[in-house]
Structure 1
């Protein structure tokens, strides 16, 4: 099978005025959970894999093969996306291995360097039909080695977003409007007015990172104002680990393979809930 270009999935989201979730995968069963959820709800599936996920699945080729095996009976489009890559070389490796989408995260770079860095990946990917996501602004929290503190000062500037999209040719743009990576310490408040200003001047689908734990009503308001892809990692991993703990603590528990289908189903139910939340009727 060949993975679907993420651009096509996001164009469908724009047409339907919904968002599609992009879910972390670290194994065959976590991939299968999302694919079963999407197939049952008739919702396309986007997988996000950072370097840590790729390492767990044996490199880029191993990740591609793992997801392909899980997708053998899929009835919906499946996109495989490299998330938060910091190098051109990694993006090239992912593309060569069979990924259908890559994200070069130059958000920690000065504006002009971010443009040049991202444009280099676009020039490589687009002739091959590969989707490219860029990012402007920084999410509070931790993502790999990057730690960002402080609220609105790190958020995406609308004028810069417009210039960035025009000069790089990216297919979608991840924006910072108040979400964060990982678990929230305090309840988030998305900057919807900033999102509206970005949406008014940017003509590509917008992406919300840090979709775990964000209140549903705020998520849905962001969808009304241009968000078409929402990354979900922490919530999926939490569902996985919580179910392991619950099963291990149940009376009569035995250490055998019976635990794994139950863990997969816990992830699947979490993902189905997110998919339904993201395609609400406005």
Structure 2
């Protein structure tokens, strides 16, 4: 059941759950995500970062489209952190149903200008658009880039940004960072700021850098109105940690012997995130 992000998240916002956006950069990760979401009857966003797309190439997106079309749950194919108009256009051409233009490092006016340009290209072909206001931090060990200094999203600027762009979803900065947090770094979300942002703008809100944050903070952010949470490092960590264990047996070389236990380990993390986001059995909300 393939749809765009606006269609997906309007329902999530109305029904008080968040849809996980799992960064997916291999057929094995895709297999695990789709199996887990089928079992949980949970809507999902397959997120692919431009760096990931440069590795898997456009043909991988065709596989994701095929899997989404035959799925019995809602699926969005989303470009994560598109940095340029050219990256966005490539994604639209090869079948993404949602794109993010991340111009958060630019000035406020430049961010508005490029977001409007992307919307003018995307909306006529039924592709939804996510933008970002404020900056997401970095732990230095994630596959995605982040800022060395977190700039929290200003509610009044967010209101103006949404009004002037007509963007479909907004990624907000309330204290998260990309990657797995090191032991000396404590994640802490500004939930009071989230409350103000939720009361100020009416479109679905997105939380990036959702790996490694305390479960109680993430659960509270969903209750306060976050409709999409990005997860990348957590599922990859589980998959490749198990992969390293399996490959200690030098006699194993067939993919169907190596990858099933890795997928199973990753699925345990996926199940947990789906439960945490209140996404279980939400297929019924789309029927």
TM-score when normalising by structure 2: 0.90
How many angstroms apart in 2 are the aligned matches of 1:5 and 1:86? 20
Q: Give the one of 157, 175, 180 matched to 2:177.
A: 180
SS in 1 for 2:227: strand
SS in 1 for 2:178: coil
How many angstroms apart in 2 are the aligned matches of 1:130 and 1:202? 21
Could you say if the C-alpha distance between residues 255 and 74 of structure 1 is closer, same or farther in structure 2, counting changes exceeding 3 Å? same
Residues 33-67 of structure 1, C-alpha deviation per residue, up to 9 Å, x if partnerless?
Answer: 11111111111110111112112212xx3131231
Residues 110-166 of structure 1, C-alpha deviation per residue, up to 9 Å, x if partnerless?
Answer: 000000010110111111111100100111115778552234xx1111111111111
Q: Runs of 4 or more off by more than 6 Å in structure 1?
A: none
Residues 190-244 of structure 1, C-alpha deviation per residue, up to 9 Å, x if partnerless?
Answer: 0011111111110100000001011110001111111000000001110111110
Structure 1 unaligned blocks of 5 or more: none
Matched, 1:246 2:245: yes
User: Which residue of 1 is the match for residue 273 of structure 2?
Assistant: 274
CA contact (8 A) 2:5 2:128 kept: yes
User: Which residue of 1 is the match for residue 5 of structure 2?
Assistant: 6
User: Which residue of 1 is the match for residue 73 of structure 2?
Assistant: 76
How many angstroms apart in 1 are the aligned matches of 2:91 and 2:102? 15
Could you say if the C-alpha distance between residues 54 and 125 of structure 1 is closer, same or farther in structure 2, counting changes exceeding 3 Å? same
CA contact (8 A) 1:3 1:99 kept: no
Could you say if the C-alpha distance between residues 25 and 100 of structure 1 is closer, same or farther in structure 2, counting changes exceeding 3 Å? same
Q: CA deviation at 1:15?
A: 2.0
Structure 2 unaligned blocks of 5 or more: 281-287
How many angstroms apart in 1 are the aligned matches of 2:202 and 2:188? 25
Q: Give the one of 152, 157, 182 matched to 2:154.
A: 157
SS in 1 for 2:229: strand
CA contact (8 A) 1:36 1:74 kept: no
How many angstroms apart in 1 are the aligned matches of 2:26 and 2:247? 20
User: Which residue of 1 is the match for residue 218 of structure 2?
Assistant: 219
User: Which residue of 2 is the match for residue 256 of structure 1?
Assistant: 254
CA contact (8 A) 2:155 2:197 kept: yes
User: Which residue of 2 is the match for residue 36 of structure 1?
Assistant: 35
How many angstroms apart in 2 are the aligned matches of 1:254 and 1:133? 43
Q: CA deviation at 1:20?
A: 0.8
SS in 1 for 2:72: coil
CA contact (8 A) 2:65 2:95 kept: no
How many angstroms apart in 1 are the aligned matches of 2:213 and 2:267? 19
User: Which residue of 1 is the match for residue 47 of structure 2?
Assistant: 48
Could you say if the C-alpha distance between residues 41 and 170 of structure 1 is closer, same or farther in structure 2, counting changes exceeding 3 Å? same
How many angstroms apart in 1 are the aligned matches of 2:89 and 2:253? 41
Q: CA deviation at 1:73?
A: 4.5
Moved more, 141-150 or 230-239: 141-150
CA contact (8 A) 1:27 1:56 kept: no
Q: CA RMSD in A?
A: 1.9
User: Which residue of 1 is the match for residue 20 of structure 2?
Assistant: 21
User: Which residue of 2 is the match for residue 106 of structure 1?
Assistant: 103
Matched, 1:85 2:82: yes
Q: CA deviation at 1:74?
A: 1.9
TM-score when normalising by structure 1: 0.92
